[in-house]
Amino acid sequence: FMNAGSGSNQSNHMYKLGPIHQGIVERGAKTTSNSYVMWPAKVGAFSLILGRHIQHADTSNLPFSYLVEKDNSTYIAPAVNLRSVGTIRDAKKWPERDRRKDPDKLDCINFNLLSPYTIQKVFAGIEILRNLQATAGETSEIYTYQSCIITNRALKRGLDLYEIIIHKFLGNSLIKRLEGTRFNSNEEIRERLDPGTTVGLGEWVDLSGLIAPKTEIDNLLNRIESGEITRLQEINEVFADLHANYYVNEWTWAWDKILSFYQLTPEAITAADVIRIVKKWEESVVSLDEMIYSDARKEFSLSFKTGFGADGNIQEKALDFEYVRGAFDKNPFVITTLKHIEVKKALGAELIERISHLR
């Protein structure tokens, strides 16, 4: 699923032996009005395309980015779409528009904004940006990646935002894993954190909406090729099982990343380590929500009120705008964002209170 602006266009005119080129726009991407991409190209998940792009770039490992045309070049602003109110609105909009009524849904569609599929690309994006810094130097004004340009400021901001979203995703997974349980020792915490399976480790793929471990898809293909699976119903059953067990498999992946990202070992993790992660999670969640709140406020600025109030003065424009759009502090999305901050703070505080006696 994606959001295509009016007049968006793509072409595969780079051929002499036939129209063989193609392009991929990964889940959640958005094109602005009259944007253009010349194939072949690959656009990362939840990215925004603005202007004309003919560089044939592969930005799949720089998700949540802006691709902006400037002076006939593509400028990449990594991760900046994470702080956009539009991204959050899209993430809420797509599942709400799922009008399927039957409880037995035939298509296995995962609408999650953050998942092992997108976060693995965030980790890859951090590595790409750090390698660019190491190669060209931290003081370089611009960096070149896939024939595109990343400014120094955009690169540093991208690293910060990618780190924030990693803390958010891993913290979400950790809190979910430990919810609703009273622990009497660090050993009990370790037992609960143990996934008990290796299914979910490694690369994940987006299979037309189904987010699943690549190893399991490879196993399915092997079973089809060997003749073990011969019916479409059997394939659908595998898909349904992977979809139903998404959060189980997600935890296996997240736990592995928690250990490496926070430099922990499963045998030695303690309540103090969990509290440290939760506090970093809370800081990241609040920081990101505040950025989104600030972005939402822009839609209530004076420039957005142009066209309201007909022939009236500035005050009448403002009144007409408020009658139509409502006041900023009463906007449902704004209220939800502020409530989200409080809910997440309470969620983190509850877990810390539940295990703080074990430190």
What is the CB neighbour count within 10 angstroms for residue 299?
Answer: 15
pLDDT at residue 210 tops 70: yes
Domain boundaries, the chain: 3-83+118-175, 270-359
Tell me the pLDDT band of 327, cut-offs 50, 70 and 90. Answer: low
In terms of Cβ atoms closer than 10 Å to its own Cβ (0-12, 13-18, 19+), residue 71 is: exposed
pLDDT at residue 97 tops 70: yes
pLDDT at residue 187 tops 90: yes
Percent of the chain whose predicted confidence (pLDDT) is above 90: 69
Positive or negative, the CA dihedral 233, 239, 242, 243 is negative
Tell me which residue of 178, 187, 195 sits closest to 353, measured CA to CA.
178
Tell me the residue type at 93: K
Tell me the pLDDT band of 301, cut-offs 50, 70 and 90. Answer: low
User: Of the ranges 86-90, 272-276, 287-291, which one carries the lowest mean pLDDT score?
Assistant: 86-90
Supply the pTM of this predicted model: 0.91
Q: What is the pLDDT of residue 303?
A: 57
pLDDT at residue 193 tops 60: yes
Q: What is the pLDDT of residue 310?
A: 66
From residue 231, alpha-carbon distances to 227, 228, 244 in Å are 10, 9, 20
Q: What is the pLDDT of residue 88?
A: 84
Cα separation of 190 and 193, whole Å? 5
Tell me the pLDDT band of 3, cut-offs 50, 70 and 90. Answer: confident
Gap between the terminal Cα atoms of the chain? 45
Q: What is the pLDDT of residue 133?
A: 96
pLDDT at residue 171 tops 70: yes
Q: What is the pLDDT of residue 14?
A: 62
Give Cβ neighbours of residue 186 (< 8 Å, ≥ 6 apart).
269, 270, 271, 358
DSSP calls for 220-242:
HHHHHHHTS--SHHHHHHHHHHH
Positive or negative, the CA dihedral 342, 343, 347, 350 is positive
